[in-house]
Structure 1
Amino acid sequence: MQLFHYHWWTDKPEEMERFYQELGFETNLRVGNYKGEMQTFKPPLEWEDFRDEEVRFRIIQMVKGQTNITFGQGKRDTFDHIGILVDESEYSQTVEKAQEIGWKVSEGERRTFISTPWKFKIELQKRTEVVTEEEHTFIKTMEILLPFSEKDLKSLRYILDLNIAEQNSERVEMGNPKWNLVFRSDEQTRLNSVKFHLGDEFNINDPVKARLIGQN
């Protein structure tokens, strides 16, 4: 399993794309609704080529190394899901566990989503081409704010086969040798920060106010 991805809905898609480009991410896909039809606006097209066309973007995908970030047009900043690369065996085991405990699983040809109790989803992805072959810019840690529930976090740990690294009434950290998920108690669910490993050094907020930390 590899934690590789997160997705936002936001009213700032152009600002988000420009920000991540400045961090070295490449835009490899734009899909949006134009005149009632879904169309692609992939590079080499730039925003100046379609800015006045009132395209409502369903997805803009950006990739750097082993990290894939997507966002789409929304009314406000909304954290939607995280993504995990899995092989066939990991996929089958994860889906089976989620179904066993009663979490909703929506299987698709290109990806599968598991709904959590906190209004964010877990994407299971088997297609390795969603990241590049370059061995850099791994997601090491994600910190997510959410309404605490020890029972539900225990279920998540079971589904993803993670070990507890630290736990108290306000914070739970779970993970494996490759990556960690940190959960902090909060009334609303939100992706608070992301730490990248083997990338450039930076410490900055993106336009939706998620803290991004790059460490060598």
Structure 2
Amino acid sequence: MKCFHYHWWTDKVEEMEAWYRGIGFETRQRIGRANGEMREFNPPLEWEDFRQDDVQFRIIEMVQGRMNITFGQGKRDRFDHIGFLVDELEHDEVLKNAAHLGWRVDEGERRTFISTPWRFRVELQRRKEAVGSEAFPSLARLELNIDRPGRLSALAELLEAEAEDKGETCLIRSDDWEILLSREQGFGLESVEIRQPASFTATDPVGVLMTSTI
């Protein structure tokens, strides 16, 4: 199970695409509604080719190395979900854990979403082509603020990971990634740490701090 993905709704979709392209991500697809119908605006099209169409983007997908970042049009910045690449066995085991926890599951042919009690979802992705073939960058750590009640270590039970539960914080750890949940005012993804050889520190347009580790 690899942590590879996160998704935002935002009114800054063009700024988000430009920012992630600026640090080396490739735009894989753009899908949005224009003139009452859903259409693709994928590269090699650029923003000047469709700006006049006033597109409401459902998804813009950015890929680099073992990371896949997506965002869609929203009225404000709202964090939606984190994603894991899984095989069939891992997928079925996580669904059993979700049923035990009583969490809602929306199972699809290629990906499944599980609703947590904390306003974000967990995506289980079975398509290996969702990421690139390069080893770097990859997601090493995510830090999320949680502003609703609920036992934070339940996420570790869902993902069959280790948990260091201190009540107001819970560090969830696997061999490949970490997720830190903190009980704070305000909800959302606060920061991510990526594995890559070069040192990097920057903040994206929705306020996520991105740093690097070797």
Decide: shared fold, TM above 0.5.
Answer: yes
Distance in 1 between residues matched to 2:116 and 2:58, nearest whole Å = 22
1:152 aligns with 151
| Matched pairs, number | 214
Structure 1 range deviating more: 1-10 or 192-201: 192-201
Amino acid at match of 1:155: A
1:17 aligns with 17
Cα deviation for residue 3 of structure 1 reads 0.2
Preserved CA contact (<8 Å) 2:169 2:181: yes
Match of residue 211, structure 2, among 199, 210, 213 = 213
Preserved CA contact (<8 Å) 2:28 2:62: yes
Match of residue 188, structure 1, among 182, 186, 189 = 186
Cα deviation for residue 43 of structure 1 reads 0.3
Distance in 1 between residues matched to 2:165 and 2:41, nearest whole Å = 45
Q: Which digits, 9 at most, give the CA deviation of each residue in 1:11-55, with x for residues without a partner? A: 000000000001100001000001111100000000010111100
Structure 1: unaligned runs, 5 residues or longer:
none
1:137 aligns with 137
Distance in 2 between residues matched to 1:212 and 1:51, nearest whole Å = 29
Amino acid at match of 2:192: V
Preserved CA contact (<8 Å) 1:172 1:183: yes
Amino acid at match of 1:36: G
Cα RMSD (Å) = 1.2
Distance in 1 between residues matched to 2:46 and 2:38, nearest whole Å = 18
Q: Which digits, 9 at most, give the CA deviation of each residue in 1:180-209, with x for residues without a partner? A: 000111133200000001253211110000
Preserved CA contact (<8 Å) 1:138 1:199: no
Stretches of 4+ aligned residues off by more than 3 angstroms = none
Distance in 2 between residues matched to 1:11 and 1:199, nearest whole Å = 32
**1:61 pairs with 2:61:** yes
SS at match of 1:113: strand
Amino acid at match of 2:212: G
Preserved CA contact (<8 Å) 2:152 2:169: no
Distance in 2 between residues matched to 1:207 and 1:97, nearest whole Å = 35
Q: Which digits, 9 at most, give the CA deviation of each residue in 1:68-103, with x for residues without a partner? A: 000000000000000000001000000111012210
Distance in 2 between residues matched to 1:97 and 1:61, nearest whole Å = 29
Structure 2: unaligned runs, 5 residues or longer:
none
Cα deviation for residue 2 of structure 1 reads 0.2
Preserved CA contact (<8 Å) 2:118 2:148: no
Cα deviation for residue 148 of structure 1 reads 6.0
Query: TM-score, normalised on structure 1?
Result: 0.95
2:78 aligns with 78
Cα deviation for residue 152 of structure 1 reads 2.8
Query: TM-score, normalised on structure 2?
Result: 0.96
